[in-house]
Structure 1
């Protein structure tokens, strides 16, 4: 076994003749992932304003993030199977259209229950998008370069996670929280136009009956990968969903914009660095990401009263987290080979469920314990994630041969 990512689907004849990655097409996939996760985490930077409009508490308003992720988790596998035979671009366009419509309606809604329903529908749209990104990218890439293509296509997810909250906060400061949702809808519409022009409409590939979910789950290495991913992402979302509360606790509310900007910049830097090395050093990158993230949370837990250390911790956290979706999905593809299509749907389900769980658990901790408790809870989860990645030397995160 090596650290090299192997695409689950052979490239097309056209792609195989290319000597470089199809940049415009991969940008379309990147933008689709970006807008999906941007829409998901957008409310996290708008919670106080949204809670006043919807006449609910901040913790209840935070569940607009949770229910979006829950819908994605519930919908990823059945929707991927239902649309597996459809042309890929048709599926992507349908999903993006759902995001456009639900974002506009969310901005118009002043009712909490209706807003939750709209967020659930938007999450189903994302449930269509995420499972197809990796396979679409692999089929577009030249032979031997599927790993980098997948990393580029999935890079929109961490960048969306990194920029969603600061963009929402900034747009809200220009007008209202509704402006952020209108802007998200506009970006989604632009993405639809780019996808229409830049992406070839590859045919669907019906799910192979021989690969069922129970069969894939017993493949050596996959369960540790999913466990590490779950603990990692729950920890991230416990803190990130309620980052404004944490900064208020640290008496740094006036620096929220700069803190979030720092996180976003280092997350983007992470994508650039990891995209260069992911094909050869997957294990090293995964282990480094989990260990560094755990160290950052420890600093936030112990030194929240020291602004300089908070900035350093957030910067390193962004760098550690930036390419985590690409790393864990890459590990799942490596571990499952021919059944990677099913494994990707499972990975997306766990990823989305973990976002939902993080928002829900973080809300419970804030209500029943204290703001400080979210860092300690995240640290416990990250310790488990780091131990799993370090120990998974044989199948999950194998050593380089």
Structure 2
């Protein structure tokens, strides 16, 4: 998820006749789609996957944990290790790893082997996230950079709105292994698309690399990273075990439809975010937090009411869909590409934390505890976003002052 600040501060004259190069941007969106689908698909087929691997549901949920943990821990060292690589080589290598890892997942009946390749896929995801935003910025004219990022990130809600529900449905129809096999097929097709359509860029020269960890001292970076940590932990604690939650309240047969509703709302969210982010980042982030809080608050007393569950999924999806774009933009404004490297680390580490936390809650307090965990984590998030009006999530007209 690294970006460069040079595009944002470019002094080049703006050519308003320039258009976005859709083919490479859509290839990047498909890469995001594959990353999210590989990451989150176990959540939709968790009971079936647990039976197939002869483990408990909480153990199967660690398929998301090891993936996210590997991505988080690998982000900073991987960025340093591959800084000199040509960018297209890195992107192609990462997508090829996804093809191999999903093939192993589809075929393996061995839990440790499956977890090992989930870990490998997690490392590859760190490389993809590190390239999406910087590629989108380089492909777009400066005045369309925000829109280019929104297109590249559209693969996230698309995976949630179509990929995960379709995978959940196919998992119940023909088996979860077939679903992972289809993700492999998409990965292979994506490799050809990237090779043909996405331009190459050189890596960084050694003398231009700055210490990444120092970015946390820049004004606003710590506030954004706190929001990343708490929001992502809240989301993944609940989302990892959404199938178990729905099963507990008699909605096991509606998992695919519930996830479809969530994903469609997420798609609406990223469209709105793409249109307004350059002018309303602060307001959008506050709104995102409030919507998720409201969804959780409704589920506490009414989790057994299907209408409320679907309504809560709409609110949750509207809150979640544009969040990655919002926080990537906020951390880039505050800390540049070094801030982005830290965001990838925090994001994915707390995704892993969500899998672990959700597993503990499921085994000790049961599925009813998930909405409460969201409230506990997101109230501080709301306070930080509201309070960070000078740096981190500044008022309109003051963005970028923290770099």
Q: TM-score, with normalisation over the residues of structure 1?
A: 0.93
Query: Distance between the aligned counterparts of 1:208 and 1:168, measured in 2?
Result: 46
State the Cα RMSD in Å: 2.0
- For the structure 1 residues 268 and 200, does the alpha-carbon distance in structure 2 shift closer, same or farther, using more than 3 Å as the test? same
Query: Distance between the aligned counterparts of 1:115 and 1:230, measured in 2?
Result: 27
Aligned residues: 393
- Show the 5 A alignment for 1:226-375: 226-336=225-335, 340-375=336-371
Q: After superposition, give the CA deviation of every residue in 1:283-317 in whole Å (9 maximum; x if it has no partner).
A: 11111101111111111112112221111111111
- For the structure 1 residues 167 and 139, does the alpha-carbon distance in structure 2 shift closer, same or farther, using more than 3 Å as the test? same
Query: Distance between the aligned counterparts of 2:250 and 2:332, measured in 1?
Result: 43
Aligned to 1:65: 64
Moved more, 59-68 or 348-357: 348-357
Stretches of structure 2 lacking an aligned partner (at least 5 in a row) = 398-403
Q: Does residue 9 in structure 1 map to residue 30 in structure 2?
A: no
Q: After superposition, give the CA deviation of every residue in 1:9-68 in whole Å (9 maximum; x if it has no partner).
A: 339999976611111111111111110111011111111111112111010011011000
SS of the equivalent of 1:211 reads coil
Moved more, 6-15 or 124-133: 6-15
Q: Does residue 382 in structure 1 map to residue 365 in structure 2?
A: no
- Show the 5 A alignment for 1:2-401: 8-10=5-7, 19-206=18-205, 211-336=210-335, 340-401=336-397
Aligned to 1:3: none
SS of the equivalent of 2:279 reads coil
Query: Runs of 4+ in structure 1 displaced over 6 angstroms?
Result: 11-18
Query: Distance between the aligned counterparts of 1:332 and 1:174, measured in 2?
Result: 42
C-alpha contact (below 8 Å) 1:15/1:141 kept by paired residues: no
Query: Distance between the aligned counterparts of 1:382 and 1:8, measured in 2?
Result: 29
SS of the equivalent of 1:377 reads helix
C-alpha contact (below 8 Å) 1:300/1:313 kept by paired residues: yes
Aligned to 2:400: none
Q: TM-score, with normalisation over the residues of structure 2?
A: 0.93
Stretches of structure 1 lacking an aligned partner (at least 5 in a row) = 1-5
